[in-house]
Every structure is written in C-alpha cells, then in structure tokens.
A and B are shown apart, each in its own frame.
Chain A
C-alpha cells in the first residue's frame, strides 16, 4: 500500500514539482507525526485487542487522504457517467466505505493477496490499478484493466483476484489462496472480503471450517454496511455480531469508518496469521452512501436522514481531514491542492475512458479455453467463424 501510495505521490510530485518546492518551505511547520486515541475493537476468542493508541505520520495521513479522496471522486464520476449512459450494465459504488479499502491496504503488504466481491473499484485502485484503467474498464474500453471485457464487477490486478459477481462465492477462493500461501511458506496472507449479505451464504462457513482446520493464513473480512441489497442486517441475520460468526475463529469488530482503526486491526490480524495461529475474522462497521447498485436509489429501505447523519457525523474522509487539521499535520490549502489534483486525475481518466476505443471484434472470442493454436468459434450465425486465442 505504502509503496503504491507513495508511487502515486511521487508521480504527482514530479508532475507538480514546482508546487512541491514552494510548499516545502512551509511544511517544516507541520507536526510530522501524532498519536491518536482510536475506538477499541470488540474481540472474540482473543487474548488481546489491537492497540487503541496509534501513531500516524504526516506522510501517511496525506497518502490516506489522497487515496480515499481518489476513490470517492472516482465513484462519483462513475455515478455521473452511468447516468449519462456511458457506463452500462451493473455498477456497484464504494463511496462511504473508503476507510476499509485504504485501511486494509495500509495494514498488509502489496505481496499479500486480496479478493473481494463486486464492489471492487476501490480495491482495484489500492491494489495498484490506475484510475484510468478502472474508468476505462467501467466504460468497456480497450485500455481497461480487464481489457474492457470485464466491466464494473470484474477487475483484476497483481495479487488481486477480483472482482467476483456471485454473492459469497469469492470467500472459499480466498481460503484456497491462503492454502497456497501456507504451502509455499512465503509468509504471505490472504484477505477475503464479503458483505453482511454474503455472510449468510453457506459457503462462507465451509471456508471458515477449512481455514481453521488447516490453520490457514486467511483474514476473512466482513464489510458490514448495514444492508444486504435492500434488507437491513437485523432483518436478515440471526446474529449481527459478524465478527463472532466464525465461532471457533478469533474475531475483531472494527470501526470501518476510521482508516486508523481498520489499519491497526488489519495489522493485528496479519500478525496473527503470520504467527501461524490460523485464520481470523474481522467485521468492519461501515456504510455505503449509494444504493446497492445503480438501479437502486437506496432510499426505499432507509431514510435520507440516516444517510445524511452518517455523512455528517462519521464520514471517513472528513474524520481523517479533521484529525490532520486539528493536529497541525496539514493545512486546508494543502488538502485542497490534493483535491484539485485528484479531480484533475479523475477528469483525465474519464476523458480517456470515454475516448479510448472499444475492444476490437477480433477480441470477442479470445480467452475461452487455453489453447496453443487459435481455436475456431462459431459466430452469430453458423457461417461466421471467429478466432479464439489465449
């Protein structure tokens, strides 16, 4: 994560070299690091909890801010492009949940493994995808991260196994990835994300059992955004203590709106796994501002006031911003500068995503089977043969 974010930062610094120099004069006045009291995690079958007193450096804070802001702006842009009918099909937005993606990434290494469901844009970015690639994937263009063939739900990059469309189906895969980590003894961990809705799928429990039985380095993370599609957690789950639902698996309940809480808990969980103690479960209590998908206005099963209250009181970006400002870790102008450059990056990416050509028709049938020599595939009528290359 840090490498990734610092790469992003470095690139920006290079682009805006002059600005960085000018501002550098004033940076010396800022606090370089500060200690913060964060909310204590609820624990299940654990002797100790993640630290509640944590240190964040100014650089880290700026990085988190930039990445969260990028994800937020990217999702809002996707919303806009969807409404303009430039993005088609299914699209699930991540705004509101940014602290989860950023916090998790800050708590593991880029060499660790991550798999999630269909709300995947944020993770694709934190795992190393670029805004351009993500936006172009959303619009189904050639420059997309899955060559424009996957769309919103199916994005992949190194050590990021997608982007999976079926509720809960990615979790056993994540356990399998953890098995590979253990077998290869590479000290890596596998993070499997799912929502509160998916937490009721049977295969999640099958994955828990295998992971615990074989003590796999698997972190199961339930992003509890309070609604599984249109049904609130209370109406769909007998126990809403998602962190305890691994029963024999240790668990943590974490404030998913606070990037530092998520980071500390993830570090704790990763250490747990790397120490050979087997899997661990985390429940991140978070909130999505948008509806379940673009066709869900998101207000038929919850009130507008509820959304406004979360936005007003526990927005992850505002929380971080307030912390940095009140501790003299950054200036308003500086954060605004980040906002401006993020906006520009998003605009450029959107521009790219709307002008990049679509995948050529020759690509249509590629990657169906593994094949050394091209395979012939029947076209839209029996007399059209298309080539399939993998």
Chain B
C-alpha cells in the first residue's frame, strides 16, 4: 500500500507541471490545470486523478446581468474591483504588492487606470493593513484591503475580531467600519505547504459582527465580492486560490450583486443533502454524480457561500426534504464550520433525520498540519480524493437511503446516532 502510494506521488510529480504561486508570469499553476484537463480525458482514470482533486464545473451562462465575457476567477475579481473603483469615488484598494497586480494578478491594471492614490502598496504588516482599513472605512472610504494569503491573516486577527467586528456594537451604532472588505486567497493548492494552504474560515465564524464569504466560481466571485463591498458590515472575502486560473466562466461585465447569507442550491435532489463551499463544491458535484450513477442516490448539492451569517433556512429545508446531511470542507474537521451546521441542523430537523449528520473534510483532522509536510505528500493527499469519494460511498452504504423503516415506521434518528457512537468505524 505504502509502495503504491509512493508510486502515485511520483507519478503525480512527473505528470504535473504546476509551478508555485507567486508574482509574475510564472504564476501558472491554474493555467496548467486548465491545460491539463482537456487532454486528461483521454488518459486512464487513475492518471486523471493526478491532474487535480476536482474538476471545475461552470454554471450555465446567465444573461440577466447584461453582456458577458470569458473570465477566470482572478479576472472576475479584477472586474468587480474595476466596477467598484469606477462607480464609487471613495473606494481605495491597498495591500502587499497590489499596485502592480498582486501575486495572483487580481489587481492588474487598476493602479494605471485609477491612480496610485487609489490602488497602492502597503508595507508587509497585516495588522497595520487591517487596522488602517478600519480607520479608512470608519471615516467614510470604501476600503478594500488585500491580505496576500489567508494564512497571513493571523497578525490581523485582533484588528478583525476586536476592532472591526465590534465597532458598531461598542459605539452604540455611532461608528462602524461596514465599508471595509478584506480579500484573501484561501484554501489548498496542491503544494502550498504550511503557510499557503490554510482555510481559516472557522476562526472568524466564531465572531459576531463580521461576514465571511467564499465563492465557488468566477460569476459567484464577482457578484459576492460586490455584495461584500456594498454590505454595511465588515466582510472577509476568501478566494479559493486553486480556482484563480482553473475556473473559467462567462462573467457579466457590468456590476451585479449576489445576496449574502443566501445559500445556492447548485443541484436539486431528494435523498441526501450535500453542503460545501468554495472548491469543495466541485468535489461534491462529482460525488453527487457518482452517487446517482453507482447507487441511484439523488443528491441535493448546496453551496453555502456565506459562512457567517449562514443560511440556516435553505439547509434545513433541504434536510427536511432529504432526511440526510453531509457537510464537507477543506479545513480541519475538529471545530470546523461543519460542526456548527451539524449542531444547528440536528436541533432544527431532529425528527426529520434518517441518518447521523456526517461532517467531512478533504483531508483529515490535522489536514493543515499534513498539508505542511512534504509538498509531495500533500500533493498525494489532495490527489487521494478517490479514496475520499469511496468514503462517501461507504457512508451511503452504512446508512442506506430508506424513507421508511421496514416496519413502516419512521426511523428515529437517535437510533442512527447511537449506531455511530458504537460503530467501530467511527
């Protein structure tokens, strides 16, 4: 087994040509993924798994917002920022290296178009960047701050949690920094290692007063980012960095918004609800297809989109319908946001549950640590989603979809929960 795994790792390395994230023209990991995916169709199944742990699935083109243009996720972010700078004279963008485009090219061309007083570099000081953003926002500017990686946001944790989130409350609504939006590249990328792979949404989800938003695609990214900017609360907007180049869609050129705190039902189904956000939505879509094909199970896939405050209603309504819930995220499972959803849903839908709620994640409880290990090992872990998918299958098998108990009685969910506790599998 170990030998086989090593073979996979090696195989992954020899076939992939993803380069590291960073400044300049060599920042092409996403492009490589895009390039790889068409050709990978002709490869065998096991080889295809090495290309990425997911396949990006674009949404059908939407025309209600006017003309569209082909954009990847970083371009759709640029487009949103462009619209904002054009429409809002008080908008300013600042962060490390944003003046010449940022390491992920999200702000390319904006300084030249709107001037260096509106799009400017800061020193390397995250706490200062956020504090400065709060100050600019409270004084009336639309402040859009970039933290270069979500992993670097921790020096600013105090400013976000104690200053930004509580400003309105502690001043009795006299002051607020609702005009502040913090953008940060987020999530795993394959070989980002310890400090370039983290998904810290759960840390912020514990803090009332801020909003946390994660898009799954270019169209969603633009609409949600514009909503965050317009929203009168400080927002953290996490951008799945693996999608920056890998995700391409027809994105409306003009400004439009997608409401916050509203989950999006990506695919309707009747047997089990799958909740995820960001990149993991694409994994879940694949799981849903597999479940349909292999097990005849109909999955409802929900993109939560806003982590805080989250859309309890949509999720619960779905669970009432399906009786089963599976939540999946990239972040560690212990204290992850899935636990919060799980707790709320069991409270609201206790009598509707047919099986214990399943929290899951891409890797494992110490995934953040594991991602830190050997870049090769983390590549392996990301590639191991085939195992992960079979894990999902296992879940379905353990808790077969049965609307009715054989005796014609409703299966009490407490039975399922007890079963979980005593099961050697858990």
User: B155, A202: Cβ atoms under 8 Å?
Assistant: yes
Check if B314 is an interface residue, CB within 8 A of chain A. Answer: no
A236 and B123 form a contact (CB under 8 A):
yes
Does the CB pair A201–B125 fall under 8 Å?
A: yes
Interface status of A294 (Cβ within 8 A of chain B): yes
Which chain A residues in 123-169 approach chain B with CB under 8 Å? 140, 148-149, 151, 153-154, 165-168
**Does chain A have a CB within 8 A of B121?**
yes
Is B20 within 8 A of A90, CB to CB? yes
Contacts of B379 in A (CB 8 A): 88
- Cα distance A88–B24 in the bound complex, in angstroms: 17
Q: Mark B179-202, 1 if CB is under 8 A from A, else 0.
A: 000000000000111111000000
B366 contacts which chain A residues (CB < 8 A)?
A: 365, 368, 377
A344 within 8 A of B: no
Complex Cα–Cα for A292 and B20 (A): 12
Quick check: is A335 within 8 A (CB to CB) of the other chain? no
- Which of the residues B13, B27, B151, B360 comes within 8 Å of A88, measured between beta carbons? B13
**What total of A-B pairs shows CB separation below 8 Å?**
165
Interface size on A, residues (CB 8 A): 54
> Are B375's CB and A151's CB within 8 A?
yes
Which B-chain residue is minimally distant from A149 (CB atoms)? B373
B374 contact set on A, CB distance < 8 A: 140, 148-149, 151, 358-359
A293 to B149, CA, bound (A): 15
In Å, the complex CA distance between A85 and B16 comes to 9
Cα-based distance from A229 to B6 in the complex (angstroms)? 35
Interface 9-residue window, one of B40-48, B338-346, B388-396 = B388-396
Q: Which residues of B contact A229 (CB under 8 A)?
A: 23, 96-97, 103, 124
Contact present for B22 and A292 (CB under 8 Å): yes
Residue among A236, A293, A381 making CB contact with B20, cutoff 8 Å: A293
Tell me, in angstroms, the Cα distance from A295 to B125 when the chains sit together: 22
Q: Secondary structure of the B side of the interface?
A: loop
Residue B167 is within 8 A (CB to CB) of chain A in the complex: no
In the assembled complex, B370 has its CB within 8 A of some CB on chain A: yes
Query: Are A295's CB and B19's CB within 8 A?
Result: yes
A120 to chain B, nearest CB (A): 14
Complex contacts, A357 vs chain B, CB 8 Å: 6
Q: A229-B124, A361-B2 are in contact. Are A293 and B191 (CB under 8 A)?
A: no
Does A176 lie at the interface of the complex (its beta carbon under 8 Å from any beta carbon of B)? no
What residues of chain A lie closer than 8 Å to B194, measured between beta carbons? 153-154, 165
Docked CA distance A89–B366 (Å): 20
**Given pairs A149-B372, A230-B97, A360-B6, 13 additional interface contacts (CB within 8 A):** A89-B375, A140-B375, A228-B123, A236-B123, A237-B123, A295-B27, A297-B25, A297-B26, A377-B366, A380-B364, A381-B388, A382-B360, A384-B387
Going nearest first, the 9 A-B pairs with the smallest beta carbon separation are A295-B22, A381-B391, A200-B123, A89-B375, A140-B374, A165-B195, A236-B123, A296-B23, A88-B375
The residues of B with any CB-CB pair to A shorter than 8 Å are 1-2, 5-6, 9, 13, 16-17, 19-27, 96-97, 100, 103, 121-125, 127-128, 151-152, 154-155, 191-196, 333, 360, 363-366, 369-370, 372-377, 379, 381, 384, 387-388, 390-391, 394, 425-426
Could you write out 30 A-B pairs with CB less than 8 Å apart? A88-B191, A88-B375, A140-B374, A140-B376, A153-B194, A153-B195, A165-B194, A166-B152, A200-B128, A201-B124, A201-B125, A228-B123, A231-B97, A235-B121, A236-B121, A293-B23, A295-B103, A296-B26, A297-B26, A300-B23, A358-B376, A360-B2, A362-B2, A368-B366, A378-B333, A380-B364, A381-B390, A381-B391, A382-B391, A384-B387
